[in-house]
A and B are shown apart, each in its own frame.
Chain A
Amino acid sequence: MQDGITTGAIYLLLAIGLLIVFSVTRVIFVPQGDLLAFGTLTAATLQSGQIPGTLWLLDGVSALALLISWHRAPLRTALTWGVYPFVLTMATLLLARFEHPAMSILLALAIVTPMGPLIWRFAFRPVADASVLALLIIAMALHFVLAGVGLVFFGPEEARAPAITESNFELGQLNVSGQSLCVLASCIILVAALRWFFGATIYGKALRATASDRLGARLVGIDAAATGALAFALASFIAALAGVLIGAVTPLSYDAGFDIGLKGFVAAIMGGLASFPLAAAGAVLVGVLESLGSFWASAYRDVIVFTLLIPVLAWLSLRAGSGEERA
């Protein structure tokens, strides 16, 4: 049960990331799971005192972005894709040998987060007006590419991200691990921060506006390229965070992200790809069902989770059939 809530919280994080990206750009962000694995494995590699391959990947792709976007907005491009990767690389080279858990986690977050905007820049922005299906196919292809890259960089072994805390608490009869509490606390803080961002800041409102009415957003001067980059940045940060959090509870390998991402997707679908509270309820439900399922029918736990989708999808398509008011 405790495990169920912890993994449920992770699914919730992923569901939120998927919802943000989908509602702003109509992309179903399949590679989010791979970025999660990148988060775990990057932190684990740093913790063992080595330099993760993801850092060089980030440097290479950033350099490419620097080259092709240079002529448009030199200063901003230079800061984002030149100065940032450079400083980050220097910091990583200097700090990796201390093998400090918090440092490894922060560096992993800083390395994986910019990959979202880079994916947007190269894979989706040039075809932003394509159909949802075409975007999904690109997203699937990217998942295979990133999984391959993960295998090359990290090998096939499982690895564990450094824990924020090793402590355990007795809560009545329950033995609660400190890390589980950290997962829950991070989840709550992130949700609160996102609520504030979307409810009170002009950039958060610009994202909501884009999700609400694409034409309206363009007509008030909201730059679709920038909102897309922001949505992807949020999602990849969330994925990386989920990766370092869950990776300390369960060791993960390069290909473990897809499954976890899929469960987040189930939760997001339960929210109708639109509603955050419903997705939250869905995420916790998926997590708890899965842990109960693994208790008395471990072979069937995925079946149980995905069977859940059927009534929800049936209901969604019924609703979509009856009310096509928003063309």
Chain B
Amino acid sequence: MTALLRVDRLHAGYGKVEVLHGVSLVVPEGCMVAIVGPNGAGKTTLLSAIMGLLPRIGGHVLYCDEPAGSTEALVASGAVLVPERRALFADMSVEDNLLLGAYTRRRAGNRDTSASMRDVFTTFPRLEERRRQLAGTLSGGERQMLALGRALMARPRLLLLDEPSLGLAPMIVRAIFRVLADLRASGLSILLVEQNVRAALQVSDYGYVLEMGAIVTEGRSSDLANDARVIATYLGARR
């Protein structure tokens, strides 16, 4: 299987403070890869550096076998991030948020994005009911649906998700994870960052454990879920 995203000994941080100390990982085409780890491990930093939101101090990020460029260039070539704080356009309607998700496609001359909009509404019927409502007035679950929907409007090849279950009710978390599993089944590649380790290892193919800015363990998700150390640190407490 070919690698869609390859991160090689990546160093990144904020100003002089280095947070990532040489992180390597691979997202093969059509796979869902999970990154788990404690608060402050550098998961968000890793996604930001991959997307070019933070300067990459050392190492390489290859997307489609080419060095990753600016955020805009990555988005235009199908690598789309749903950030931890969703970053919706709060004072714009749900429909406009979705429309702007397809911004790069519109710019590339593709004027008809209504088919993608229909797909998003089929996946999240709630968004269709709320299409004229301002994004800022949505509930937490609806906001996450809109953030995902907006990302899907770009017709991504690689979806990067930063804690999609953060702050959501268990029922909505289950619904979101079901959608992720469906997307994965339809051939989309996904890089998933999650604190909900159990759920993340259940839906993903492969997992990495990130601690203090370095990968400490990796393996097939089913193996990681049975790894004694992972169970003790991340799964034990929740039983």
List residues of A whose CB falls within 8 A of some B CB: 202, 205-206, 208-209, 212-213, 215-223
Besides the known contacts A208-B91, A213-B89, A219-B82, 8 further A-B residue pairs in the complex with CB atoms under 8 A apart: A202-B103, A209-B92, A212-B91, A213-B88, A219-B71, A220-B101, A220-B103, A223-B72
Contact among A206, A208, A213, A215 for B103, CB-based, below 8 A: A206
Distance of B235 from chain A, by nearest CB (Å): 32
Decide if B53 is an interface residue (CB 8 Å cutoff): yes
Residues on A with beta carbons closer than 8 Å to the beta carbon of B200: none
Q: Which of the segments B15-23, B61-69, B73-81 contacts the partner chain?
A: B73-81
Near A by CB (< 8 A), chain B positions 73-124 give: 75-76, 80-83, 85-92, 96, 99-101, 103-104, 106-107
In the complex, what's the smallest C-beta–C-beta distance from A284 to chain B, in angstroms?
A: 24
Query: Is B150 located at the chain interface by the 8 A CB criterion?
Result: yes
26 A-B interface contacts by CB (under 8 A): A202-B100, A205-B92, A206-B100, A208-B92, A209-B89, A209-B100, A212-B90, A215-B83, A215-B85, A215-B87, A216-B88, A217-B89, A218-B71, A219-B51, A219-B75, A219-B87, A220-B75, A220-B104, A221-B71, A221-B76, A221-B103, A221-B154, A222-B72, A222-B100, A222-B103, A223-B72
Q: Which of A216, A217, A221 has the most CB of B within 10 A?
A: A221
Complex A-B, nearest 6 residue pairs according to Cβ-Cβ distance, in ascending order: A216-B87, A221-B75, A221-B104, A212-B89, A215-B87, A220-B103
Residues in chain B near residue A223, CB distance under 8 A: 72
Query: Of A202, A216, A218, A221, which one neighbours B89 at CB under 8 angstroms?
Result: A216
Q: How many residues of B contact A (CB 8 A)?
A: 28
A209–B98 Cα distance when bound, in Å, is 11
Contact B89 A219 (CB under 8 A): no
Neighbour of A213 across the interface among B75, B82, B87, B107, CB < 8 A:
B87
Chain A residues near B75 (CB, 8 Å)?
Answer: 219-221
Smallest CB–CB gap between A210 and chain B, Å?
A: 9
Task: Choose from A212, A218, A221 the contact partner of B92 (Cβ within 8 Å).
Answer: A212
A216 to B104, CA, bound (A): 13
Q: Which residues of A contact B96 (CB under 8 A)?
A: 205, 208-209
